[in-house]
């Protein structure tokens, strides 16, 4: 058995209780002393999931969350030493589950919020580009204001589309903002190293023909907020 296969079987056996993996590693049951490691690992992963997705967790009963958690770790055994990174598939995992659509969007919201916090990109002015931590998500429900109300399970969000921008500024403060079409156009265009107001104006005329806002003032505001680093 290769080292990689051994490691994968060990994770499946200890974290997900996979019987086939356990049989490949031990002829009988796993040694009793490994139960300490197993319990400690499970507690760490379980705690990390609850702490990274606290509002999503609120949408489930204790029993339903326990089953969901077990299914998640059986489907996605931790593959990275860093706890948060190993939870990266969770929001995508929920999309395949039969749960309310706004709960799936809430998980995506919480994951984006965490990602901009742990993103190691350097944010400093002078790059002439869109802030590298920027993440844009489109939701079919009003998740932003629902989260401000602590995502109460008994008061689901309104079904009305919104686009949110998540980012961290150069002072390492995280932000979540509602976005308008012109802001999104700026953020997308300034991902290119040769972007300028001259290259942006034809796009604005094509995609937002009714928009007459002065591009210079929009760029200045986005620069002030560290969304575009000039």
**Per-residue pLDDT reduced to its tens digit, 105-136:** 999 999 999 999 999 999 999 888 999 999 99
Residue of higher predicted confidence among 39 and 116: 116
Instruction: Identify which of 121, 114, 108, 109 has the alpha carbon closest to the alpha carbon of residue 191.
Output: 121
* Rounded distance between C-alpha atoms, residue 78 and residue 28, angstroms: 24
Token pair of 60, please?
A: 């489930």
Same domain, 130 and 92: no
Is position 107 within any domain? no
In a domain, 116, yes or no: no
41 and 143 inside one domain: no
Instruction: Give the domain range for residue 150.
Output: 121-230
Query: Is residue 211 domain-shared with residue 163, that is, in the same domain?
Result: yes
- List Cβ<8 Å contacts ≥24 apart for 137-142: 137/108, 137/109, 137/112, 137/163, 137/164, 137/166, 138/162, 138/163, 139/105, 139/108, 139/109, 139/163, 139/164, 140/101, 140/102, 140/105, 141/101, 141/102, 141/105
User: Do 149 and 94 share a domain, yes or no?
Assistant: no
Confidence of residue 41 (pLDDT cuts 50, 70, 90): low
Question: 206 in a domain, yes or no?
Answer: yes
- 72 in a structural domain: yes
Please give the average per-residue pLDDT across 53-75, as a whole number: 93
Asked whether residue 44 is assigned to any structural domain, the reply reads yes
Average pLDDT, the chain: 90
Same structural domain, 88 and 143: no
Once rounded to an integer, what is the mean pLDDT over residues 136-141? 97
Q: Is residue 26 part of a domain?
A: yes
What pTM value is reported for the model? 0.83
CB distance 162 to 176 below 8 Å: no
Q: What is the pLDDT of residue 161?
A: 96
The whole-number pLDDT of residue 73 equals 86
Same domain, 47 and 137: no
Give the mean pLDDT of 53-82: 89
Same domain for 90 and 137? no
Q: What is the DSSP letter of 129?
A: E
In a shared domain, residues 176 and 228: yes
Summarize the confidence of residues 175-187 as an average pLDDT: 97
Asked whether residue 230 falls in the same domain as residue 125, the answer is yes
- As for how many domains the chain has, the answer is 2
139 occurs within a structural domain = yes
Same domain for 212 and 136:
yes
pLDDT at 217: 96
Confidence at residue 37, expressed as pLDDT on a 0 to 100 scale: 67
* pLDDT tier at 31, thresholds 50, 70, 90: confident
Q: Is residue 111 one of the residues assigned to a domain?
A: no
The CATH number for 230's domain is 3.90.930
Lowest mean pLDDT among 5-14, 102-111, 180-189: 5-14
């Amino acid at each position: 058995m290769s080292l990689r296969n051994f490691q994968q079987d060990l994770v499946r056996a200890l974290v997900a209780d996979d019987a086939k993996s356990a049989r490949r590693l031990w002829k009988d049951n796993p040694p009793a002393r490994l139960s300490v490691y197993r319990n400690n690992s499970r507690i760490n992963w379980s705690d990390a999931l609850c702490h990274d997705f606290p509002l999503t967790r609120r949408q489930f009963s204790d029993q339903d969350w326990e089953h969901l958690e077990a299914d998640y770790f059986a489907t996605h055994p931790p593959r990275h030493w860093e706890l948060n990174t190993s939870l990266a598939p969770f929001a995508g995992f929920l999309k395949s589950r039969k749960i309310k659509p706004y709960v799936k969007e809430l998980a995506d919201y919480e994951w984006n919020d965490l990602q901009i916090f742990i993103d190691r990109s350097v944010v400093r002015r002078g790059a002439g580009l869109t802030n590298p931590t920027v993440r844009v998500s489109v939701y079919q429900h009003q998740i932003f204001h629902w989260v401000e109300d602590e995502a109460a399970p008994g008061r689901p969000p309104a079904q009305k589309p919104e686009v949110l921008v998540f980012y961290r500024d150069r002072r390492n403060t995280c932000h979540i903002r509602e976005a308008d079409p012109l802001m999104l156009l700026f953020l997308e265009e300034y991902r290119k190293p040769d972007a300028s107001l001259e290259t942006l104006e034809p796009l604005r005329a094509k995609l937002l023909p009714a928009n007459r806002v002065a591009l210079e003032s929009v760029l200045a505001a986005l620069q002030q907020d560290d969304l575009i680093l000039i």
